[in-house]
Amino acid sequence: MSETPTFVTHLECSETGKRYEADTLQGLSETGKPLLVRYDLDALGKSVSKDDLLHRAPEFWRYREFLPIRKAENVVRLGEVMTPILPAPRLQAALGGGEILIKDEGRLPTGSFKARGLALAVSMAKELGVKRMAMPTNGNAGAAMAAYCTSAGIESYVFCPDDTPQVNVREIALQGAHTYLANGYINDCGRVVGEGKEEMGWFDTSTLKEPYRIEGKKTMGLELAEQLGWDVPDIIFYPTGGGTGLIGMWKAFAELEAIGWIGSKRPRMVAVQATGCAPIVKAYDEGSRFSEPWVNAHTIASGIRVPAALGDFMILDAVSESNGFAIAVEDDEINAAQEECAKTDGILLCPEGAATLAAYKAALKSGQVSKDERALLFNCATGLKYPMPEAGGFIDLKQPIDYAAMK
């Protein structure tokens, strides 16, 4: 990566549009809403062409003009590959619907799409001189922050609900974060981070409480458009917790249209949640732009167990502007979808990814998605990090092997 200056002009409050200075450490706006990074899109569009990208490495830093880092030396890298878009032809045939594409984000460092947001947040923190970062997490974001912070020489503190999958907790600790479990939800852990800011001197890296994780997640939109020949799918199913990725993709499509790389067509954006924690779906059903905190949140898809999302209005705006919808699925349906995809097309989804397939199936049945639509589902993490059902027959090697029984 060369020393290309970025095209960032300022930050902007997502609610009021008020301008904030870039290149200085910022959290939320004065009204307590997320800040968005704004660029000189005219200059950006003139500085890079689609053809230029063809000569760049297959990693998300290829979109550097769309990103806020000013000095190449601050980019923290752990191997940010472009993730494949996999067709699922047998599943498609079995369901009798339209084309199904699965964007497999489990190939990224630390095994999830959280690497995108945290690579950007940590690189920007390095650029702005941050020495200590903290966040609440349901697992994957904490693992990504721990890894990128360690690589950047930044100290990290991670707070997880005490029922976060052990594999995530251990991964976070092993990758160098001070790791704590708390008897509450992710929002409660968020309070620990917020209230400790002064005493601990850490930078609050919670979802949407700093401006750069969205920019990292934005690369999902840039990347999938490039992979589809500068086109977008008809409909995107996104497992929605804090919703950073959905908001980020929506921003990516607007920026791509502004520089003339895509037209005005947008995918219908579908926010997928679990019935045990569905604040966005409830708000959508009630026609509201804002969600109420969900009480007694529970689901096996821990990544989307987020009782309250700070960016609810941006998620719901993208859903309604795109003529999409919000939909909740049961844990049983998530398990069934995971097994079906693995056994039909050989693609192991994480539970959150499986939720998108379960939602697609339900929407196909109800007519919310049609057979002509090309659907893209997000598998946001590797399925290998999650518990799997017990399996395997036993062979007693002291006895003759009964091959006939295996047929």
Ligand X SMILES: Cc1ncc(COP(=O)(O)O)c(C=O)c1O
Binding footprint of ligand X on the chain (CB under 6 A): 112, 114, 138-141, 207, 239-245, 303-304, 350, 352, 380-381
The residue among 80 and 127 lying less far from ligand X, judged by its C-beta, is 80
The residue among 6 and 291 lying less far from ligand X, judged by its C-beta, is 291
Nearest to 308 by CA among 177, 151, 189, 160: 189
Give, to the nearest 10 degrees, the angle between helix 166-174 and helix 140-152: 10
Residue nearest to ligand X (CB): 303
For residues 218 and 247, what is the distance between their CA atoms, to the nearest angstrom? Answer: 8
Minimum distance, C-beta of residue 100 to ligand X, in the bound complex (Å): 18
Token match 């390095």: residue? 126
Nearest to 248 by CA among 391, 105, 77: 105
Q: Which secondary structure element, helix H or strand E, spans residue 86, and what is its range?
A: strand 85-87
Q: Kindly report the length of the chain.
A: 407
Minimum distance, C-beta of residue 285 to ligand X, in the bound complex (Å): 19
Minimum distance, C-beta of residue 238 to ligand X, in the bound complex (Å): 7
The residue among 41 and 249 lying less far from ligand X, judged by its C-beta, is 249
For 262-288, give one letter per residue: b (16+ CB within 10 A) or e: beeebbbbbbbbbbbbbbbbebbeeee
Minimum distance, C-beta of residue 171 to ligand X, in the bound complex (Å): 12
CB count within 10 Å of CB 91 equals 22
The residue among 98 and 241 lying less far from ligand X, judged by its C-beta, is 241
The residue among 112 and 151 lying less far from ligand X, judged by its C-beta, is 112
Minimum distance, C-beta of residue 121 to ligand X, in the bound complex (Å): 13
Minimum distance, C-beta of residue 50 to ligand X, in the bound complex (Å): 27
Token pair recorded at residue 119: 């690579």
The residue among 6 and 207 lying less far from ligand X, judged by its C-beta, is 207
